[in-house]
C-alpha cells in the first residue's frame, strides 16, 4: 500500500506541470499534463464507443492514463525540443509549422526519445508490485510504438486532443493560430472515426459565415 501511495504522489506532479508546447506558443496559464490526460480520457470514453469501433475501452482508458507518465521524469517534451533556435524570431518562424525535418532526423529523434522515455517509465513503476508495473509499461509501450489497435487509435486521438485544446485557445485569442496542429493532424490521422471527429471539430470551430 505504501508503494502505491508513493506512486500516486509521483503522479500528482503532473497536476502542476504545464504543457511545454503551449508555453512555447505563449499561452498564458496553459493546461497541465494532467489536464491533457483528462481531455484524452474523456475523448476516449466518449468516442471509442462510436460506430463499429472494436476497441477495448477499458484498455484504451488505462492507456490514456499511462501515455504521458514519463513526463514525471523527463519533463513535458515536444517535437520542437531539438530544433528550436535560441533567437526569438527564428523560434517563432519554426513554430508556425509542424516540424519540417528529413526522414533520417525524424527517425533519430524518435529513437532517442523512445529510449529516454522507456528508462523513465521503468523508473516510475519500479516501486510498484511487479505485475502492476509490468502492465503500465506494456500499455505505455503499445501506445508509443503503436503496436496494438488501441495504441494506434490512442496516438491519433492524442493528436486530436491537442488540436481540440488548441482550438479552444484560438477561439479565446484570435492571435493564436492552431495551423501547425492541423498540419500534424492531417499527417497523422487515417482512422475513419478520428477523421470524422476532426471534420466535426472543423464545423464547430469554423462555422460558415452567414451571408447577410
Partner 1 sequence: MEEKKFYLTKKGLERLKKEYEELKSLKIAKVKEGSPQTWHSEDLSSEYFSFQDDLASLEKRMAEIEAIIDNYEIIKIPSKKDQGRVGLGATVSLEGEGKKGKVNEFMIVGTLDANPLEGKISSESPVGKVLMGLKVGDEAVIESPIKMIYKVKKIKYSSF
Q: Which residue has the cell 510498484?
A: 128
Strand partners, 32: 18
* 5-13, 21-29, 43-51, 177-185 -> range binding partner 1 (CB under 8 A): 177-185
Is residue 123 near partner 1 by the rule CB under 8 A?
no
* 3-11, 33-41, 70-78, 186-194 -> range binding partner 1 (CB under 8 A): 186-194
Q: What is the dihedral of CA 76, 80, 85, 86, to 10 degrees?
A: -20
Residues in binding contact with partner 1, number by CB under 8 A: 32
Instruction: State residue 18 phi and psi, 5-degree precision.
Output: -70, 150
> Which of 100, 131, 174, 210 contacts partner 1 by CB under 8 A?
100
- Minimum distance, C-beta of residue 138 to partner 1, in the bound complex (Å): 11
Q: How far apart are CA 139 and CA 169, in angstroms?
A: 30
Is residue 82 near partner 1 by the rule CB under 8 A?
no
Is residue 83 near partner 1 by the rule CB under 8 A?
no
Residue whose C-alpha is closest to residue 14's, from 72, 79, 60, 59: 72
CA atoms within 13 A on the CB side of 172: 10
Is residue 202 near partner 1 by the rule CB under 8 A?
yes
- Minimum distance, C-beta of residue 102 to partner 1, in the bound complex (Å): 5
Compare residues 6 and 96 and give the one whose CB is closer to partner 1: 96
Is residue 148 near partner 1 by the rule CB under 8 A?
yes
**Terminal C-alpha separation, the chain:** 65
Is residue 106 near partner 1 by the rule CB under 8 A?
yes
Q: How far apart are CA 85 and CA 69, in angstroms?
A: 28
Contact 140, 67 (CB under 8 A): yes
> Which of 84, 145, 168, 176 contacts partner 1 by CB under 8 A?
145
> Which of 179, 196, 200, 204 contacts partner 1 by CB under 8 A?
179
Cα–Cα–Cα angle for 161, 163, 168, nearest 5°?
100
- If residue 164 lies in a helix (H) or strand (E), which one and from where to where? helix 149-172
| Positions that interact with partner 1 (CB under 8 A) | 54, 56, 58-59, 79, 97, 100-103, 106-107, 109-110, 145-149, 152, 179, 182-184, 186-190, 195, 202, 206
Amino acid at each position: 500500500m505504501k508503494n502505491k501511495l508513493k506512486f500516486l504522489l509521483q503522479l500528482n506532479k503532473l497536476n502542476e506541470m504545464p504543457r511545454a508546447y503551449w508555453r512555447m506558443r505563449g499561452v498564458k496559464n496553459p493546461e497541465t499534463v494532467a489536464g491533457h490526460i483528462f481531455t484524452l480520457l474523456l475523448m476516449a470514453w466518449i468516442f471509442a464507443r462510436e460506430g463499429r469501433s472494436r476497441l477495448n475501452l477499458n484498455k484504451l482508458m488505462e492507456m490514456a492514463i499511462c501515455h504521458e507518465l514519463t513526463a514525471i521524469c523527463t519533463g513535458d517534451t515536444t517535437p520542437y525540443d531539438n530544433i528550436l533556435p535560441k533567437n526569438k524570431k527564428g523560434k517563432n518562424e519554426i513554430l508556425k509549422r509542424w516540424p519540417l525535418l528529413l526522414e533520417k532526423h525524424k527517425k533519430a529523434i524518435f529513437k532517442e526519445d523512445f529510449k529516454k522515455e522507456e528508462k523513465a517509465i521503468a523508473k516510475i513503476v519500479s516501486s510498484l508490485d511487479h505485475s502492476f508495473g509490468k502492465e503500465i509499461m506494456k500499455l505505455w509501450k503499445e501506445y508509443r510504438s503503436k503496436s496494438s489497435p488501441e495504441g494506434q487509435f490512442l496516438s491519433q486521438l492524442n493528436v486530436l486532443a491537442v488540436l481540440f485544446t488548441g482550438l479552444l485557445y484560438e477561439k479565446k485569442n484570435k492571435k493564436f493560430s492552431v495551423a501547425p496542429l492541423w498540419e500534424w493532424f492531417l499527417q497523422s490521422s487515417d482512422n475513419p472515426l478520428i477523421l470524422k471527429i476532426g471534420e466535426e471539430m472543423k464545423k464547430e470551430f469554423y462555422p460558415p459565415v452567414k451571408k447577410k
